[in-house]
């Protein structure tokens, strides 16, 4: 049994000994997705948003996820988040932590820098308020964590890293920038089709060391994260799918079969050596072939990789286990993340539905979306809203 399921709270009450209790008390939207405007009051415990498909349920929880991660779980860019025809979107969340309130405000400007305010005061860079609210979001899209490309799993790791330690937002963007510049250089060298001159090679040397340094930092973060996640994923999977094989994670690096150090300095040297060895090939192909952008997180069930082998039900259980493990890990670090379950119960059979509900019930705040009330498990009673025709109306209890 997962630790999260072991201490049910009576009537959604709070555990007396835990100090950092965080919940979203208010969500306010302006021109976000389908909403010209919306105001939603929220409480600790469970809140369900129920309504027919296409009415704006996911849009609401997506906005809360955006406040936490500055990204969307279903859009690669910000443009689709802004209501069609509007110039920008604004999302405000009132967050209560230990009975202190904070107002987080994000202005989403597609193609331009977003702006952030904390308690109405501008924040120089939105990144600085990452970590004020932490969420773990479960969604139907999570199946891609198991069945999709390595990029899905890299994003899972990197987002979780950033949620745990917001400084990784900087590491990720540094690495992306280095990679882009280095690829541009390799591409232009490849396009010229003759041996690059000493100047190009010297510039490439500089980018190699940047790539090794920032890459090592990201890689070290991921390796630590995966070690911390492994037992939690195994436990969550065993609880969700007791009759299936054991779930495990293996980090697969582009450095091949070398034993990876967990020391950043040594990792940088390992990366530097591998980059050196692949230079000829990189110059021919015009792309960076070594580094964390080429890595994968292999999900294993027993002896086999889940991808390509696991059944639909096993894949679902694995995806849920990754999110549950993320929840456990964040919870062990400090305050409870807000849990968001977007339309996931309808996909599950009765057994897994009940087990998942039991495991998430003790969280400080759980937000659920469902098409019909019957899709909200009985274990998760709480407040509810009906979402239809762009209106979000609280149900009478
Ligand atoms: N940027 C946008 N501007 C206007 N409408 C949007 C935008 N993005 C999504 N929508 C609309 O939002 C609706 C989907 O809302 P969603 O929250 O996903 O529904 P559900 O209740 O099924 O979760 C669709 O009707 C879609 O057209
Ligand atoms: Mg939805």
Residue 303 lies in a domain: no
Could you report the per-residue pLDDT of 370-385, keeping only the tens digit for each?
A: 999 999 999 999 999 9
Could you report the per-residue pLDDT of 119-160, keeping only the tens digit for each?
A: 999 999 999 999 999 999 999 999 999 999 999 999 999 999
Calpha distance 22→101 (Å, rounded): 10
Residue 80 lies in a domain: yes
Ligand 1: nearest atom to the Cα of 34: 5
List, chain by chain if needed, residues with CB within 6 Å of any ligand 1 atom: 33-34, 51, 53-59, 80, 82-84, 369
The mean pLDDT value of the chain amounts to: 92
Q: Which ligand is nearest to the CA of 387?
A: 1
Nearest to 291 by CA among 133, 180, 139: 180
Could you tell me the two tokens for 268? 């940088």
CA 58 to centroid of ligand 1, rounded, Å: 8
What are the φ and ψ backbone dihedral angles of 391, each rounded to 5 degrees?
-115, 145
Could you report the per-residue pLDDT of 12-38, keeping only the tens digit for each?
A: 344 444 446 899 999 999 999 999 999
Q: Which ligand is nearest to the CA of 57?
A: 1
Could you report the per-residue pLDDT of 249-282, keeping only the tens digit for each?
A: 999 999 988 899 889 999 999 999 999 999 999 9
Residue 189 lies in a domain: no
Provide the pLDDT for residue 393.
97
Residue nearest to atom 7 of ligand 1 (CA): 33
Residue 88 lies in a domain: yes
CA 57 to centroid of ligand 1, rounded, Å: 8
Residue 318 lies in a domain: no
* Number of domains forming the structure of the chain: 1
CATH number at 107 reads 3.40.50.300
Residue 59 lies in a domain: yes
What sections of the chain are H helices per DSSP?
57-69, 143-147, 150-164, 167-192, 198-240, 264-277, 279-285, 312-333, 350-360
Residue nearest to atom 9 of ligand 1 (CA): 33
Contact 61, 137 (CB under 8 A): yes
| DSSP result, 268-310 | HHHHHHHHHHTHHHHHHHTS--SSGGG-EEEEEETTEESTTTS
Q: Which of 55, 64, 368, 387 to mutate to test the pocket of ligand 1 (most atoms within 8 A of CB)?
A: 55
> What mean pLDDT is predicted for residues 347-360?
93
pTM: 0.93
Q: Which of 29, 31, 34 to mutate to test the pocket of ligand 1 (most atoms within 8 A of CB)?
A: 34
Residue nearest to atom 16 of ligand 1 (CA): 56
List, in order, residues 6 or more apart from 37 with CB less than 8 Å away. 29, 30, 31
**Which residues constitute the domain of residue 382?**
1-134+335-397
Residue 298 lies in a domain: no
Residue 342 lies in a domain: yes
């Amino acid at each position: 049994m997962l630790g999260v399921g072991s201490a049910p709270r009576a009537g959604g009450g709070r555990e007396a000994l835990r100090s950092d209790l965080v919940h979203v008390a208010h969500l306010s939207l302006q021109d976000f997705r389908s909403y010209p405007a919306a105001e939603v009051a929220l409480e600790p415990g469970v809140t369900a948003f129920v309504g027919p498909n296409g009415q704006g349920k996911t849009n609401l929880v997506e906005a809360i996820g955006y406040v936490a991660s500055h990204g969307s779980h279903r859009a690669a860019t910000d443009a689709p988040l802004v209501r069609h025809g509007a110039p920008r979107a604004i999302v405000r969340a009132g967050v209560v932590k230990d009975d202190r309130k904070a107002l987080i405000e994000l202005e989403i400007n597609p193609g331009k820098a977003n702006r952030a305010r904390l308690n109405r005061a501008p924040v120089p860079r939105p990144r600085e308020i990452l970590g004020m609210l932490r969420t773990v979001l479960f969604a139907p899209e999570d199946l891609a964590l198991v069945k999709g490309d390595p990029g899905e799993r890299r994003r899972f790791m990197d987002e979780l890293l950033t949620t745990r330690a917001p400084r990784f937002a900087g590491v990720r963007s540094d690495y992306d920038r280095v990679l882009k510049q280095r690829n541009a250089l390799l591409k232009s060298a490849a396009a010229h089709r003759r041996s690059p001159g000493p100047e190009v090679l010297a510039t490439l040397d500089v980018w190699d060391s940047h790539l090794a340094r920032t890459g090592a930092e990201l890689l070290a973060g991921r390796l630590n994260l995966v070690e911390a996640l492994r037992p939690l994923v195994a436990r969550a999977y065993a609880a969700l799918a007791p009759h299936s094989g054991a779930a495990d994670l293996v980090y697969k690096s582009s450095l091949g079969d070398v034993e990876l150090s967990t020391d950043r300095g040594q990792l940088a040297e390992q990366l530097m050596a591998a980059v050196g060895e692949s230079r000829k090939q990189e110059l021919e192909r015009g792309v960076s072939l070594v580094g964390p952008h080429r890595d994968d997180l292999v999900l294993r069930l027993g002896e086999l990789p889940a991808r390509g082998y696991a059944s639909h039900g096993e894949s679902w259980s694995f995806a849920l286990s990754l999110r549950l493990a993320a929840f456990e890990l964040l919870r062990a670090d400090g305050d409870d993340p807000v849990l968001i379950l977007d339309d996931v119960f309808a996909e599950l059979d009765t057994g897994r539905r009940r087990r998942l509900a039991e495991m998430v019930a003790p969280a400080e705040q759980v937000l659920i979306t469902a098409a019909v009330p019957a899709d909200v498990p009985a274990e998760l009673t709480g407040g509810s809203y009906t979402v239809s025709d762009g209106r979000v109306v609280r149900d009478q209890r």
